[in-house]
Amino acid sequence: MNSLPKGFSFYTGNYNPEQYTKNNLLAIVADTEVFCSAMFTKNTCCGAPISLAKEKLEKKYDIHVGNISGIIINTNIANVATGEKGITDSKRQAQLLAKSLNVSENKILVSSTGCIGPFLPMQQMEIAIPKLIFGKKQNLKNSANAIMTTDIKEKFISVRCGEATIAGIAKGSGMIAPNMATMLAYVMTDANISKEKFAHIWKKSVEKSFNMVSVDNCESTSDTAIAMMNPLSKVDEKEFEKQVFQITTFLAKAIAYDGEGATKGIEVRVTGAESENSAQKIAQKIVSSDLVKTAIFGKDLNWGRIIQAAGHTHLSIDLSSLTCSIGGITVFKNGLSVEISPETELQAFENSEIIIEFQMKQGDFSATAWGCDLTYKYVQINGEYRT
């Protein structure tokens, strides 16, 4: 599906067409004020848009919430480490969209992603942002394209939930690590549930999806994940929670598997852990390991790197009851290595998605994390990022 929930519109534009060939501005606009739940990067060197958003929203239900009328998003420049000018510029972006919509600037959030350090070209923004809502309304695919940076593929999804629609878009390809990533994610719905429940569902879904991805183990300064609710359609809360998690998982995997230079997607499944926290930490550590990533790239069934990464959590792991498989091939069972033929080893890497299963038999808890292999191309992309 490529449809939007009732009450939401997307508009795209380009604030510097002479330099950039694709659209790099997106406005998400609500017909009326909508309730939003937001989570942001934990990086203490966050960008101006993050600081301003936290000021406009209230910390409630252990998450940032509030009523908003829209979001303005720009790519190519992150507006991070730009001092007071960066704050002023971000405020001005909100003012420009707010004036176009005839709403308060306090009801407009801003997101920026791209290179850290440069100032936003505000002369171009002054011209481009007011034009946005007079342009053609865009679908999910075109909107997702407008927020891409080094991404190769657009990341978007839309599902039905009873009479309601839930839709989401995201971007992210590099500087991706647990605690979100250089990622922007926006989910919209016309479902009607309580604000507290909506916030709880969003927080839980983000923690189990976007917070479980890693491309390069680098926590970004601009991570933003926002869910918006225009309460027009009744839904079953359990089904709604299931569908939101389906959307965030889809987008999280899309980000992980579109990692810069990636040739393989990696899914790490930890089962039998003594707690959910333990399962999550082990899954995150395995999927974040450069040694695991390079082994996958090199088609090397080097299970020792997985064991090392799991042990790096400093959690109690009983090797004698541990079983581990890579790409469907059991490589370690009950504390001992399994002999693998060269032909079988190659079979483990036939698919574009490599699943690592880490079965602990120490409890009833599980977790899943997503990432990708680490390749020569990743080094090239980031070595030439500003040149």
Residue 216: pLDDT band with limits 50, 70, 90 = low
> How far apart (Å, rounded) are the C-alpha atoms in residues 219 and 174?
10
Burial of 341 from C-beta contacts in 10 A (0-12 / 13-18 / 19+)? exposed
Is the confidence at residue 139, as pLDDT, over 70? yes
- pLDDT tens-digit series, residues 147-189: 998 888 899 999 999 999 999 999 986 544 444 445 799 999 9
Residue-level pLDDT at 181: 42
Residue-level pLDDT at 150: 80
Return the exposure string of 202-220: e unless at least 16 CB atoms fall within 10 Å of the residue's CB, then b: bbebbebbbbbbbbbbebb
pTM over 0.85: yes
Phi, psi of 5 (to 5 degrees): -65, 160
Helix (H) or strand (E) holding 202: helix 195-208
**Is residue 254 within 8 Å of 155, Cβ to Cβ?**
yes
DSSP string covering 255-281, please?
HHHT-TT-S-EEEEEEEEESSHHHHHH
Q: What is the β-pairing status of strands 329-333 and 184-192?
A: unpaired
Q: Return mean pLDDT, the chain.
A: 92
Task: Reply yes or no on whether 263 is catalytic.
Answer: no
Helix 122-131 and helix 83-101, axial crossing angle in degrees, nearest 10: 20
> How far apart (Å, rounded) are the C-alpha atoms in residues 58 and 85?
24
Is the confidence at residue 370, as pLDDT, over 90? yes
Residue-level pLDDT at 259: 77
> How far apart (Å, rounded) are the C-alpha atoms in residues 152 and 314?
36
CA atoms within 13 A on the CB side of 127: 7
Q: Which residues fall within 8 angstroms of residue 230, CB to CB, at 6 or more apart?
A: 5, 6, 7, 8, 30, 31, 32, 34, 188, 189, 190
Per mean pLDDT, which range of 108-112, 208-212, 218-222 is the poorest? Answer: 218-222
In DSSP terms, which residues pair with 36 in a beta bridge?
A: 66, 228
Q: Which amino acid is at 83?
A: G
Answer with the residue of higher pLDDT: 358 or 256: 358
Closest alpha carbon to 371 in 311, 286, 309:
286
- pLDDT tens-digit series, residues 280-294: 999 999 999 999 999
Please give the domain boundaries of the chain with CATH numbers for all domains: 8-257 (3.60.70.12), 265-383 (3.10.20.340)
Residue 114: pLDDT band with limits 50, 70, 90 = confident
Helix spans in 36-111 (H): 48-56, 83-101
In DSSP terms, which residues pair with 384 in a beta bridge?
A: none
Is the confidence at residue 385, as pLDDT, over 70? no
Other Cβ atoms closer than 10 A to 45: 11
Catalytic residue selected from 12, 165, 182, 249: 182
Burial of 31 from C-beta contacts in 10 A (0-12 / 13-18 / 19+)? exposed
- pLDDT tens-digit series, residues 45-103: 888 999 999 999 999 988 999 999 999 999 999 999 999 999 999 999 999 999 999 99
> How far apart (Å, rounded) are the C-alpha atoms in residues 262 and 378?
7
Is the confidence at residue 342, as pLDDT, over 90? no
Residue 217: pLDDT band with limits 50, 70, 90 = low
